[in-house]
Amino acid sequence: MRRGAFLALLACSALSGTVAQTTADHLGRTPTKEELRKWESPILPDGTGLPIGSGNAVRGEAIFVTKCAGCHGTHGEGHDPVGPQLVGGIGSLGTQNPVLTVGSYWPYSTSVWDYIHRAMPYYPSPGTLSVDETYAVTAYILYLNQIIAKDEVMNQLTLPKVHMPNRNGFIADPRPDVHAAVKR
């Protein structure tokens, strides 16, 4: 009897501790208006939403080595599991061993810019690259994938014109409730 009472008391104690913990943790905080603005400003494939700025692979290489190479390697070769490979694999998607990289998989260069600007450098502070730094790093990654020339300037007008190798590698969603059209 004593053992049963002890187990019941222990179970109640554990349960009440769980309930109390969930209401008192106060994890997180309300995002600032600036944080919300950054998260809610989509960059579209046609370049809509890209800010004014510019950069090329020459400048991007120095930034990449300083802020990105620790995870992705000096030349985008990756350091799994920390940072995925960014370069190579073009033409590998239809093979037994597809290599998903910026050059082989991403259909729009503007999406690359948007992801880098919002999420990189992942550690220690994502979303801290300036607009110009983001254009430069994007240009460097595109250059490493042999998509643009090293001195080619990427900005809000030129970046959307970059034709990614896998641009036409996706199919439109055939569901009738989806109204998105794929431009080719």
CATH code, 102: 1.10.760.10
Between 38 and 11, residue with greater pLDDT = 38
The answer to whether residue 10 scores a pLDDT higher than 60 is no
| 31 pLDDT tier (thresholds 50, 70, 90) | confident
What is the pLDDT averaged over residues 35-57?
88
**Residue 181 domain flag:** no
User: How much is the average pLDDT of 7-25?
Assistant: 55
Answer whether residue 42 is part of any domain. no
Residues for the chain: how many in total? 184
Range(s) of the domain holding residue 150:
52-161
Q: 24 in a domain, yes or no?
A: no
User: With 90 as the cut, is the pLDDT of residue 15 above it?
Assistant: no
Does residue 161 surpass a pLDDT of 50? yes
Q: What is the pTM of this model?
A: 0.76
What distances in angstroms separate CA 75 from CA 93, 135, 137, 141, one per listed residue? 21, 17, 12, 9
* pLDDT at residue 101 greater than cutoff 90: yes
Provide the pLDDT confidence category of residue 155 given band limits of 50, 70 and 90: very high
Answer left, alpha or beta for residue 53, where phi above 0 means left and psi between -120 and 50 means alpha: left
The residue assigned the tokens 């990427």 is 154
Quick one: pLDDT at residue 76? 97
94 assigned to some structural domain: yes
CA torsion angle 3 6 10 16 (round to 10): 140
For the chain, how many structural domains are there in total?
1
pLDDT at 33: 83
Evaluate whether 139 touches 57 at the Cβ level (below 8 Å): yes
Report yes or no on 113 lying in a domain. yes
Cβ neighbours, 10 Å, residue 150: 14
Q: Let me know if residue 183 belongs to a domain.
A: no
In this model, does residue 26 exceed pLDDT 80? no
